[in-house]
């Protein structure tokens, strides 16, 4: 049978990885797919560089629309990124009847509803294994492997840049700004690291996982997003003393009131496997009612790990493209006419537990006042840690850090109590609040 024809848009890190792995493992992949998979066209603005990478048997063009217009191309792989030209090209490829493989989490998290509807109407597949956690087959797990389950929650370290920074902060006792500069120097963080360090990249991925886990539309605009820029080395140290590591988690959870969708730094018990995922590695936990808790671990970025996911999608499409479109695995795991309208909860309605660090005057009654405010709001305390007085303020009184771990409470109520605490004259600095997830 004639090889299935692939057109690649963007010959960067992932594009060249895809090209190399497909070439290297072509026999193995053909035995699995039942047919050879051939990249016959590549579009890249730097034609000479792309041509040098692919060799003369591949047609390299600068205009991606030449690939979309080519009737011989069966699958378009979009590796451009962003929501600008990438969105237009994906929609045009679908309109031209091409199947699409993309690693573009931002595009699907924000415009997924429109893109999946267009693909459904046209009877083509849009596959995106590479969009979440790089080489880890978490989309496949959520969409197929765990399909028997009512999924309760998904929680993951789904941004390698921030996990690298947090690991370095903990191991070396350094502050965020210092480690970020080092991460940029080593190439772990981009020159403009905003999407990673502010949690946006993780929120794109969490949004996709929420849709797959619960059969809801992608709703990036409803995600709560908090990055790691305000974390101090002191909080990482105190968390460690209390038996926790701080990780940037993407969490989506089913509750009676609705769906939680949130990205923020979280204290995770050190004994959980996921708390020990260090450096740029990714890991995702999924809790299903039948299977229990499962954990998926691996490289979340990089040329060949991401190519591994792209090629898995190419193989899937090669196997399935002659099947009746209505019998294929649905894009978002649930049939499009069976999507749920479960609402995504505002952050003030989310129930979780907290780590609080308060810089207070070290004098009689301060701790009693703080715990009294928590008691009045019916917020139960899990643990309290007070450091020795270590600083003398200008006014001459001693100051110290008080750390309080709470049991579960609703965020809105926690925020009200925090406002009351902050207004106390004995609380000397802005209070640090970090959420805590037991993940059990
Ligand atoms: N920038 C991402 C990360 C990889 O640091 O994990 C691509 O999503």
Q: Is pTM beyond 0.85 here?
A: yes
Task: Decide: residue 253, CB within 10 A, 0-12 exposed, 13-18 middle, 19+ buried.
Answer: buried
Sheet holding 4-9, edge to edge: 59-61, 37-43, 4-9, 75-78, 99-102, 126-127
Task: Tally the domains of the chain.
Answer: 3
In a domain, residue 344? The reply is no
Among 79, 105, 161, which is best to mutate for testing ligand 1, by the most ligand atoms less than 8 A from CB?
161
Is residue 127 domain-shared with residue 151, that is, in the same domain? no
427 CA to middle of ligand 1, Å? Answer: 38
Domain of 323? 4-137+303-338
Q: Considering Cα of 67, then 68, then 73, then 78, what sign does the dihedral take?
A: positive
Is residue 111 domain-shared with residue 127, that is, in the same domain? yes
User: Per residue of the chain (440 residues), what is the pLDDT tens digit?
Assistant: 899 999 999 999 999 999 999 999 999 999 999 999 999 999 999 999 999 999 999 999 999 999 999 999 999 999 999 989 999 999 999 999 999 999 999 999 999 999 999 999 999 999 999 999 999 999 999 999 999 999 999 999 999 999 999 999 999 999 999 999 999 998 888 889 999 999 999 999 999 999 999 999 999 999 999 999 999 999 999 999 999 999 999 999 999 999 999 999 999 999 999 999 999 999 999 999 999 999 999 999 999 999 999 999 999 999 999 999 989 999 999 999 999 999 999 999 999 999 999 999 989 999 999 999 999 999 999 999 987 666 655 565 689 999 999 999 999 999 999 999 999 999 999 999 999 999 98
Is residue 280 domain-shared with residue 160, that is, in the same domain? yes
Q: How many CB atoms neighbour CB 82 within 10 A?
A: 10
Is residue 167 domain-shared with residue 119, that is, in the same domain? no
Minimum-distance ligand 1 atom for the alpha carbon of 195: 1
Is residue 320 domain-shared with residue 355, that is, in the same domain? no
Element (H, E) at 127: strand 126-127
- Kindly calculate the radius of gyration of the chain based on its CA atoms and give it in whole angstroms: 24
Ligand 1 touching residue 298 (CB < 6 A): no
C-alpha angle with apex 423: 417 to 427, nearest 5 degrees? 95
In a domain, residue 343? The reply is no
- 433 is a catalytic site residue: no
Q: Of 349, 338, 159, which Cα lies nearest the Cα of 260?
A: 349
Question: Which one of the listed residues 87, 105, 205, 247 is annotated catalytic?
Answer: 205
CATH code for position 236:
3.30.360.10
Cα torsion at 182, 225, 153, 305 (round to 10°)?
-40
Among 106, 107, 187, 201, which is best to mutate for testing ligand 1, by the most ligand atoms less than 8 A from CB?
201
Is residue 107 domain-shared with residue 198, that is, in the same domain? no
In a domain, residue 267? The reply is yes
Ligand 1 touching residue 300 (CB < 6 A): yes
Q: How many CB atoms neighbour CB 58 within 10 A?
A: 18
Q: Judge contact between 352 and 435, C-beta under 8 A.
A: yes
Is residue 115 domain-shared with residue 36, that is, in the same domain? yes
Q: How far apart are the first and last CA of the chain?
A: 50
Residue located via tokens 């990478």: 53
Q: How far is CA 164 from the centre of its chain?
A: 14
Is residue 282 domain-shared with residue 315, that is, in the same domain? no
Ligand 1 touching residue 303 (CB < 6 A): no
Ligand 1 touching residue 265 (CB < 6 A): no
Is residue 150 domain-shared with residue 287, that is, in the same domain? yes
């Amino acid at each position: 049978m004639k090889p299935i024809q692939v057109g690649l848009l963007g010959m960067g890190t992932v594009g060249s990885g895809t090209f190399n792995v497909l070439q290297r493992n072509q026999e193995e992949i053909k035995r699995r797919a039942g047919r050879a998979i051939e990249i016959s066209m590549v579009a890249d603005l730097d034609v000479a560089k792309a041509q040098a990478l692919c060799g003369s048997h591949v047609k390299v063009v600068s205009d991606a629309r030449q690939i979309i217009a080519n009737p011989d191309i069966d699958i378009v792989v979009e590796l451009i990124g962003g929501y600008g030209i990438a969105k237009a090209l994906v929609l045009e490829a679908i309109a031209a009847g091409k199947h699409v493989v993309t690693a573009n989490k931002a595009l699907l998290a924000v415009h997924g509803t429109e893109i999946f509807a267009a693909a459904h109407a046209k009877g083509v597949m849009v596959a995106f294994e590479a969009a979440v956690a790089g080489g880890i087959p978490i989309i496949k797990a959520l969409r197929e492997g765990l399909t028997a389950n009512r999924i309760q929650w998904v929680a993951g370290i789904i941004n390698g840049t921030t996990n690298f920074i947090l690991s370095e902060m903990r191991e070396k006792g350094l502050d965020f700004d210092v480690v970020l500069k080092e991460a940029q120097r080593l190439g772990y963080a981009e020159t403009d690291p905003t999407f990673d360090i502010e949690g946006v990249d993780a929120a794109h991925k969490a949004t996709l996982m929420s849709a797959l886990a619960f059969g809801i539309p992608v709703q990036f605009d409803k995600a709560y997003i908090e990055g790691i820029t305000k974390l101090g080395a002191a909080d990482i140290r105190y968390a460690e003393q209390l038996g926790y590591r701080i990780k940037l988690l993407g969490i989506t959870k089913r509750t009676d009131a609705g769906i939680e969708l949130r990205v923020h730094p979280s204290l995770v018990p050190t004994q959980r496997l996921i708390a020990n995922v260090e450096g740029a590695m990714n890991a995702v936990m999924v809790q299903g009612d039948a299977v229990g808790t499962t954990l998926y671990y691996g490289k979340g970025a990089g040329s060949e790990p991401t190519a591994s996911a792209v090629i898995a999608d190419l193989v899937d499409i090669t196997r399935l493209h002659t099947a009746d479109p209505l019998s294929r695995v649905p894009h978002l795991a649930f049939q499009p006419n069976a999507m749920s309208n479960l609402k995504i909860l505002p952050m003030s309605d989310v129930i979780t537990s907290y780590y609080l660090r308060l810089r207070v005057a070290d004098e009689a009654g301060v701790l009693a006042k703080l715990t009294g405010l928590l008691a009045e709001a019916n917020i139960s305390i899990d643990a309290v840690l007070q450091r020795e007085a270590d600083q003398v303020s200008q006014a001459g009184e001693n100051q110290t850090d008080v750390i309080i771990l709470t049991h579960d409470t609703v965020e809105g109520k926690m925020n009200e109590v925090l406002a009351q605490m902050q207004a106390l004259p004995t609380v000397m600095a802005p209070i640090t609040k970090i959420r805590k997830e037991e993940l059990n």
